[in-house]
Amino acid sequence: MQSVEKIREKAGTWLGKEFNEQIRNEVRDMLENDEKKLIDAFYQDLEFGTGGLRGIMGAGTNRMNIYTLGMATQGLSNYIIKKCGNSGIRVAIAYDCRNNSRLFAETAADIFSANGFEVFLFDSLRPTPVLSFAIRQYKCQSGVVITASHNPSEYNGYKAYWNDGGQVVAPHDEGIIDEVRKINSVSQIRFDGKKDKIRIIGKETDDLFLKEVHKMSLNPYVINKFSNMGIVYTPIHGTGVRLVPDALRMFGFNNIISVPEQDVVDGNFPTVKSPNPEEPGALKMAIAKAVETGAELLMATDPDGDRLGIAVKDKKGEFILLNGNQTCLLLIWYILSQYKERNKYTGKEYIIKTIVTTDLIERIAEDYKVEYYNVLTGFKFFAELIRENEGKKIYIGGGEESYGFLPGEYVRDKDAVASCALIAEATAWSKSRGKSLYEQLLEIYVKYGFYKEKLVNIVRKGKEGADEIKAMMADYRNNPPEKINDSRVIKINDYEKQISHDIVQGTKTMIDLIKSDVLQFFLEDGSKISVRPSGTEPKIKFYFSVNTKLESADKFEATEKFLNDRIDGIIKDMRLV
């Protein structure tokens, strides 16, 4: 890390007239009163990675502000010009509910337009999948969305997309990063926007998007029968409020129950500790509303409307939260079963999951004789694969354990708008068979095996935390365990080295995926442990997957306890508690 003197010198450059008064005042206050905050704000530059920018808002090179965002946008502009020329360039911009999101979106629009681009800027907040759709609809070369997904309220971010509507991948990701790194002064940023180059878009784009979402419906007649099924939906103060209720109504559902306090668009997320549908606390108010109204299904989306969490009634009639793996496998199973029931298969269909998403999805795909792909974590790899297969194969669905799902090709990023409508339809279809969605899940487990997953996040903030996470990965890689929870490690996949090591056979084979800092340990008892640092947050993630046969639905609780005990044993043996 730089010396305190160097950091103070670096911070001092932000007192120049090229920075606005608010930024200068904030820097001056840190210089005079808060050295610790100053160090954290300036000890490094906020890195533009393969997913864009994400960080705490405020003054400083390690913060999200109009200047760090401006450098990213100017670098992206330079790359676009380099690859596509400097005429006829189009970009789209969307933003979420977070504090400063509108300011950041308008700043990006000014910079793009100053570089001669035609800009399609949404008139107000929109879910991320609508940005992906707009890029494709308006034949844009690129696009950005201003969001920090489910991060706490002090964060914001910036995700870059390419002309297929997917987040940037190789070779564009590294090319953009190189251009961004060349911007080393705010004087290089073109802030002088050309308003005549900025086109405001809104409802007309929403309508086109919803038309494509509606095409995902597989059972309209079932919905007609259960159109009054109670559905509680909360956007948790975010963008989903714009389109999820509309999508549900378009599918034919008319009893959509809101949580009024959480329909309020607010970047401070006043009713929750974290606006993350993975967190039980974020759904507490919605569950209370579902109990009060006797609803059948509860759904929540994250601030930028690309991930969903759901709650369903168990056998006792009490609401329980499903995890991302369960929601994903229910949607995959529903799509595959309905394709078969309606003779829709052409033999070219395929699905996608990530390497850390439940392997139960593979068992389902094998049963329906549908091709499946495993990709690295991140929907940009879904988009890349869909693009490669376009015209040759038909993508019909895919998702990841982190609550993201995409049911069709109309966009190239996860889409909670369509996923909410489809999970509601799957619930209605289950009702038509005399089952709840929960009972349908148990039926899947009985047929294919009970797979239980758990995610453990170890948070390590700041530079010291980043170094500790790096050391943990190095230790697992250089000193891999021979046994975990008294079960022998029989295979190790190292995605950084791109090698799969079959320890039993003593063979090594290449992994046909790009390098990524991920390790997977496969145990003799069928357990799988995946370890990777987060690409967007200061944490290291441990994914645990165990499985066994479920003899009958009546034995679910006892079998779940058995699997939970196995996971707890693994966690304890790996000294994560």
Measured distance CA(538)–CA(532) in Å, rounded: 12
**Is 90 exceeded by the pLDDT of residue 340?**
yes
**Is 90 exceeded by the pLDDT of residue 271?**
yes
Give 413-428 pLDDT, tens digit per residue.
Answer: 999 999 999 999 999 9
pLDDT of residue 51: 78
DSSP structure string for 67-87:
HHHHHHHHHHHHHHHHHH-SS
Average of pLDDT values for 452-462? 90
Give 115-151 pLDDT, tens digit per residue.
Answer: 999 999 999 999 999 999 999 999 999 999 999 998 8
pLDDT of residue 461: 80
**Three-state DSSP state, 251:** helix
Measured distance CA(430)–CA(156) in Å, rounded: 39
The CA-based angle 316-322-323, given to 5 degrees, is 155
Nearest to 397 by CA among 468, 480, 339: 339
Q: Which regions of 420-577 does DSSP assign to beta strands (E)?
A: 450-459, 483-484, 487-494, 499-502, 507-510, 519-523, 528-533, 539-548
pLDDT of residue 536: 67
Nearest to 212 by CA among 492, 68, 406: 406
Average of pLDDT values for 282-286? 97
pLDDT of residue 488: 97
Measured distance CA(390)–CA(350) in Å, rounded: 12
Residue 178 has φ and ψ, to the nearest 5°, of -60, -40
Domains, in order of start, for the chain: 1-40 (no CATH), 44-201 (3.40.120.10), 209-448 (3.40.120.10), 450-573 (3.30.310)
Tokens 């050295």, located at residue: 35
pLDDT of residue 538: 80
Average of pLDDT values for 540-563? 97
pLDDT of residue 50: 75
Average of pLDDT values for 343-364? 97
Q: Grade residue 281 by pLDDT with cuts at 50, 70 and 90.
A: very high
Q: Is the peptide bond before 152 cis (omega within 30 degrees of 0)?
A: no
Active site residue 149: yes
Q: Grade residue 47 by pLDDT with cuts at 50, 70 and 90.
A: confident
10 Å Cβ neighbour count for 447?
A: 12
Task: Give the burial class of 473: count Cβ atoms within 10 A of its Cβ; 0-12 exposed, 13-18 middle, 19 or more buried.
Answer: middle
Q: Does residue 150 contact residue 274 with C-beta atoms inside 8 Å?
A: yes
94, containing H or E segment: strand 90-95
Measured distance CA(393)–CA(386) in Å, rounded: 9
10 Å Cβ neighbour count for 328?
A: 28
DSSP structure string for 373-408:
EEE-SSHHHHHHHHHHHTTTSEEEEEEETTTEEE-S
CA distances, 38 to each of 4, 26, 103 (Å): 9, 10, 24
From the candidates 77, 113, 142, 149, which is the catalytic residue? Answer: 149
pLDDT above 90 covers what percent of the chain? 94
Report CA torsion sign: 21, 27, 30, 32.
negative
Give 286-296 pLDDT, tens digit per residue.
Answer: 999 999 999 99
Q: Does residue 538 contact residue 472 with C-beta atoms inside 8 Å?
A: no
Give 190-217 pLDDT, tens digit per residue.
Answer: 999 999 999 999 999 999 999 999 999 9
The answer to pTM > 0.75 is: yes
pLDDT of residue 534: 84
Instruction: State the average pLDDT for the chain.
Output: 96
pLDDT of residue 463: 74
pLDDT of residue 1: 62
Task: Give the burial class of 431: count Cβ atoms within 10 A of its Cβ; 0-12 exposed, 13-18 middle, 19 or more buried.
Answer: middle
SS3 for 107-131 is HHHHHHHHCCCEEEEECCCCCHHHH
Average of pLDDT values for 144-173? 95
Average of pLDDT values for 53-62? 96
Q: Does residue 263 contact residue 241 with C-beta atoms inside 8 Å?
A: yes
- The total number of residues written for the chain in this structure: 577
Give 482-539 pLDDT, tens digit per residue.
Answer: 999 999 999 999 999 999 999 999 999 999 999 999 999 999 999 999 999 987 678 9
Relative to beta strand 394-400, strand 349-354 is: parallel
Average of pLDDT values for 433-456? 97
pLDDT of residue 90: 98
Residue 452 has φ and ψ, to the nearest 5°, of -120, 130
Residues 6+ apart with CB under 8 A from 545: 358, 359, 451, 452, 453, 527, 528, 529, 530
| Helix 21-33 × helix 4-12 angle, to 10° | 160
Q: Does residue 66 contact residue 103 with C-beta atoms inside 8 Å?
A: yes
Measured distance CA(382)–CA(374) in Å, rounded: 9
Q: Does residue 238 contact residue 303 with C-beta atoms inside 8 Å?
A: yes
